[in-house]
Amino acid sequence: MPFPAHCWHKLAKRLLDLVYTPQCALCGVVLQLGRSLCGTCDGDLPRLSAPFCAICGEPFHGRIEGLCQCPNCGKLTFSFGFARPAMLRDERTRQLIHQLKYGRAIHLAAELGRLAADAFDDERLGPAIQAKWPLVPVPLHRSRLQHRNFNQAAEIARGVATHTALPVLAALKRIRRTDTQTLLGRQARLNNLRGAFALTAAGRRHLAGASAPGAILIDDVLTTGSTAEACAATLRHAGFQCVLVVTVMRG
């Protein structure tokens, strides 16, 4: 008689338990298998809450009623409707993202995806949920993907998908490798990213079958918003009518 799949799954979990004790990525406390963040650390990570900029999610201090834009966004135009980071700029959240990206702590993607999914509490994302817009990860260039073995945005998108029931669609590819962006300002970043993204065959197939296509771009951090802008511009140019952005953190 064949061994049922769920038994194999249980056995694999037990074996994993023997060799790998899951710990909280921030405080090191021992956890149940499948978790990488303890309840205390999780609860301590600051979430983005109102008031914040309606376009870029930059938090405002003091009492401001309703949605308004920060002085920076007021001067700019965007290809995306708005970007909604789930978390405030915070060293611990940054550390988790850093561990995922550079420490190959791929198991953290599920926790970061769960944190990012909190952004969907924002009622402005309600119509996108209803219409089942796909989650489109910001792509990595092939050479970087070979080096890292995974795309952190794609892994985070998978985590978001489990909490929102939205599909993940690899609609974008990076066709040009770009220099590192960290030291550049917004305009220099935008210039640096010109022509860096293109629609994939999967993206084209999706567009062919959708009547009013929209997409939710997923990334780890929103800093100047120039990567999101370049990706959104590519999607809009290809035929997506509306693009929104969800990231784990406001950088």
Alpha carbons 109 and 153: distance in angstroms, whole number: 9
In whole angstroms, the minimum distance from the beta carbon of 69 to Zn ion comes to 6
In whole angstroms, the minimum distance from the beta carbon of 189 to Zn ion comes to 16
Judged by beta carbon, residue 80 or residue 173, the one nearer Zn ion is 80
In whole angstroms, the minimum distance from the beta carbon of 92 to Zn ion comes to 9
Within 10 angstroms of residue 31's Cβ, the number of other Cβ atoms is 16
Judged by beta carbon, residue 73 or residue 242, the one nearer Zn ion is 73
Judged by beta carbon, residue 206 or residue 250, the one nearer Zn ion is 250
Alpha carbons 200 and 73: distance in angstroms, whole number: 30
CB within 8 Å of 159: residues ≥ 6 apart: 109, 110, 111, 112, 113, 114, 116, 117
Report which of 125, 34, 116 is spatially closest to residue 82, judged by C-alpha positions. 125
Judged by beta carbon, residue 72 or residue 181, the one nearer Zn ion is 72
In whole angstroms, the minimum distance from the beta carbon of 106 to Zn ion comes to 19
Judged by beta carbon, residue 70 or residue 198, the one nearer Zn ion is 70
In the complex, the residues that contact Zn ion under the rule CB under 5 A are 24, 26-27, 38, 41, 53, 55-56, 58, 70, 73
Alpha carbons 209 and 54: distance in angstroms, whole number: 31
In whole angstroms, the minimum distance from the beta carbon of 167 to Zn ion comes to 29
